[in-house]
A and B are shown apart, each in its own frame.
Chain A
Amino acid sequence: MTASTTAASSVERELAAKALKTAPNGQQLPVRAEVRARKGKQPAWLLAVVVVLALACGASLAVGARAIPLDTVWDALLHFNPAEGNHAVVHARIPRTGLGLLAGGALGLAGAAMQGVARNPLADPGIMGVNAGAALAVVAGIYLFGITGLGGYIWFAFLGAAAAAAVVYLLASMGRDGATPVKLALAGAALSAGLYSLMNVVLVSSQDTLDRFRFWQVGGVAGRDWSVILPGLPFLVVGALIVLLSGRILNGLALGDDLARGLGQRVGLSRAIVALGVVLLCGSATALAGPIGFLGLVIPHAVRFFTGPDYRWILPFSLVLAPALLLAADVVGRVVLLPGEVPAGIMTAILGAPVFVWLVRRGKGVSL
């Protein structure tokens, strides 16, 4: 070690000593201990989040407009008797809970991956033009082809989402450097604006289309049975596998293109693979549950509170926490305006926003 570096390290020691942060309550918190407290505890936190999700699932099965005693709920799950009214009600909540799990998990994962690909904390799946593409396609399906019912919508929504994402990706890939985060965001924003305008042209001119479209557009998990949900399942599973295995890729991309290339990563290919996973996930989630905007943006932020910036943890946490929030929002939405219901897509933002603001105000590890 040269003299200068040794001298420097003693300076650092001083700095480290000075870096004792004073907590708001006056207590001294050593910075390093604080960081270390987060490290190594992720598995425990993940387990806790899984428990929260299980509770949310339970609530989703047990709570609703019709008050059903817990033991009847239990009974309905284990010894289903179609003749009994309460049992039928509980059974009707099963696909709804299933869709909440699937759509929530998909949107959480897709949001985390999208923020990684775009290197932008404000990125959410919508930034790829997915929501706009799906919405326009559904409107076109209703208006041009007279499609009715969710079973028909989801194919249009899925095709629209995939087509929009492909166009955004192609636009962003043109020119030097390929699909950079900024070009992706710009192309996505521009295309979304264009698609929404087209959609509004149709909706303004056709009251009938508007009425039917609104049901899909608010975003929710109610009223979809398994025959609608199951066709989306393969896309969700493939998308989830692609994204869950991309943790290291996203960690590399987070360092910037140059550095990622220097570390031997094939940046263009990596980004394309993750983007494919994102489109599969949020294309099918949007098709099934309508555009639910808030989850993909907020969940990855909240998750960083537990995980720090390591995508190998951010992804599984997002997968588990997002459906917990979506299900909780759906449950609250069922009972908050009796006898009516507030769709989960709306309730998510109402419940999530204050939590999000609180997290950001606490300001620890939530920034990006």
Chain B
Amino acid sequence: MTTNTTENTVSTAAPLLEVKDLEVAFKTQQGEVKAVRGVDLTVYPGQSVAIVGESGSGKSTTAHAVINLLPGTGKITGGSIKFDGRELVGAGAKDIIDLRGKEIGLVPQDPMSNLNPVWRIGFQIKEALTANGVDTKQRRQKLTDALVEIETTPSGDDLYLGHEGKKALITALGNAGVDEAAVAAADKALQVGSTTRAQAAGILESAGLKDAEAVAAEHVTGASATDRVAGLLAEAGLGDAERRARQYPHEFSGGMRQRALIAMGLAARPKLLIADEPTSALDVTVQKKILDHLEGLTSELGTAVLFITHDLGLAAERAEHLVVMYKGKVVESGPSRQILKAPQHPYTQRLVAAAPSLTSRRIQSAHAAGIETDELLASHADSGAQKRGDNVVEVKNLTKVFRIRGSRPGTGTDFTAVDDISFGLPRGTTLALVGESGSGKSTAANMVLGLLQPTAGVVEFDGQDITKLRGRKAFQFRRRIQPVFQNPYGSLDPMFSIYRTVEEPLRIHRVGDAKAREKRVRELLDMVALPASMMRRFPNELSGGQRQRIAIARALALNPEVIVLDEAVSALDVLVQAQVLTLLNDLQAELGLSYLFITHDLAVVRQIADKVCVMQNGKIVEQGPTDQIFDTPSQDYTRELLAAIPGASLEIGPEVPAV
């Protein structure tokens, strides 16, 4: 985090990016729709600014307008964008192309779709070097020469170490009789394409070489574009960079792809980096590592960063300055801490009150101060009558092994998705199954739902082993446990009206006649706080939050005892998420439901769960009451997960700002 002093110094300098009264409109069949309506935004050199807002607030559109990446139907209809004193609105196509990559870099949102699947990673990064004229050392030299004049760097000190140069340096170390451990350490520290001559001299010296500077000057003579690509990947935190550069995107995990995209965005050392939700698609621990790395890298290079994010906690933690957008307008902007402490605009106030990462942080500081936290929690409705102390679902030694087909006959391997897990879900409470992608939590949920046959172990529902149920008994069992899935856009049949969607389970289970069923559907819609007039509409007419309410109504139709919520609020905006969590809590108190809550988001868990099971690689590494897990975690992995919740480093008190 940058201190206040830098904040003060940058504000006196000339702004790097100055957006004034920006208006962007999209052409649609209903006519022009204004997505951005008069946005003002200033980024100073080296400063980090975050635009925070929910989906549809115009935050990404604003960022894309800066580098003219609006889709075909979008157009800047007013205002001005000044970058380094130059006006970009109405600038020629060539000027914008020159600017992209070289002066303004972009780290896009979804690492899965933002790399071209048919080209090697290295090729795609090298393209960024070539396009911006920094691919060969001669072309780079011009740039560094210009820098040398301004800064007081001795000439040649910023040449990069090449492939051949590294070999020569290691040989030189060996010849000088340096011991093996030191050579190995130097081998690790010297990064082809990233280590400069000055750094190399330092590394050689600490390895114990006498004439380190002369040796470095002899062998560090600049890197080829391929070497530089490896260097960039290494700088972005990717190990074994030279080999990785030769791989294709599908051979990379999400986090590795995001690192490659960061390497790409920073390849030509831009002055401003636009990071558009750079880690939203990643697991929290990976998210933290990448953001930490990005922060270190940009502060070292002096790059200004414009974050685009929906997560207020993350924004406040990573940026000095916040710009809160709502419906295309900036509703509030100012230093991060000030906005968190005293939000002025009602929307910001609601956002600050609802953000799970902040609430989680508040609970933590409340506990530290010894304050009761019930008003901060969405859950813990003590419906004492319901708590008979028995477990409605009891999972014992559950295991699921998948067979993965090999490339040739007989080379298939077994993959254990869920490895010998046991837990109990007490009646009328919420149990959270927490883990990162691939931890086996959804596989476990599918087995509890009876949708997947376990390889070993039992799932007992009310004392009955459901893995052995067949035919009519299995059918009857399904009434008692119902799912709500993550993506409300995919889990509702677009061809079914809302009425048909909610009524379908009743019809399948032959509950009542048509009239009784209609009455029940009205009742259910009322329960999830939707008007009965919604019945005749179709999913595409509904917002994400409304759809998720429909999914909950459908799950409730058969009066189940247990609802499995598989990432049920993860796809929703913060405020909608808070509403749905409150709804779930009210329903639990009213109907005595038990929830099995599957999520990767620990901040949400803190608000809703009574008990937590932390899963890693198919195993439960730790389980216990929520407060115990959060306050005194016993496993390193749990601690790592907790530390990764955005906003963990923020200093905020337990009090919720007045709304």
Please say whether chains A and B are actual partners in one complex. Answer: no
Residues in A lying within 8 Å of B, measured CB to CB: none
Residues in B lying within 8 Å of A, measured CB to CB: none
